[in-house]
Amino acid sequence: MTAEAEARGRILAVARRLFFAHGFGRVTMDEIASELAMSKKTLYRHFASKEDLCEAVIDAAFTAIDAELAAALDDVRLGFEDKLDRFMRIVAAGYEEARGPLLTDLHRDAPSLWARVDAWRSKVVHTRTRALFAAGKRAGVFRPDVPEDLVVRLVIGNAQNILRPDVLAALGLSFPEAFAHCKAVLLDGVRARPCNGGRGAAH
């Protein structure tokens, strides 16, 4: 690793910790430079603005989540139920980290950065959820009659319209509560269940 790449990595790690802990508006480039024991001039040489730095933090965070999801789906040692469990845990952990002041700030005050979060979220959710659902169909876990693209659109719509700071506040739900409900409605609802004498799904 080059010295420049190492410095960039250190900056991203500190900026990520501060942004997620305190939000976008309350963190300054002065504070980030101070935490790094780095001059502002050096910091600005790597990132031209706080917006550029936050964008890089967003990109790095979603790239890491995407890689984790891909690894879970490709792990041949796991049965489908284990893959599903790991997939959901990775997604939940990502949202859990991001559900503090950062997303609230971006949604309220930084529309271009919020749009980047939404774009990444849609890309990751679309690609990996489609692969997960297709694997579930092949394993006989999910219903074969439900179109994959429909499930993907439902998941993306859910992520964009429900798991937002303002919507969660209006619903009076914590993130874990909302996530659990959404998982139950979306994924459990498309499971292949044998009928029980016409009285509904077997448990």
Give one DSSP letter per residue of the chain, joined into a string: --HHHHHHHHHHHHHHHHHHHH-STT--HHHHHHHHT--HHHHHHH-SSHHHHHHHHHHHHHHHHHHHHHHHHH-TTS-HHHHHHHHHHHHHHHHHHHTTHHHHHHHHH-HHHHHHHHHHHHHHHHHHHHHHHHHHHHTT-B-TTS-HHHHHHHHHHHHHHTSSHHHHHHHT--HHHHHHHHHHHHTGGGB---BSTTSSB--
**pLDDT average per 10 residues of sequence, the chain (203 residues):** 91 96 95 96 96 96 94 93 85 75 90 92 84 89 87 75 79 81 77 55 40
Report the pLDDT value the prediction gives residue 160, as an integer from 0 to 100: 67
Q: Domain ranges for the chain, please list them.
A: 49-190
Q: What is the CATH number of domain 49-190?
A: 1.10.357.10
Q: What is the pTM of this model?
A: 0.77
Q: What is the pLDDT of residue 157?
A: 76
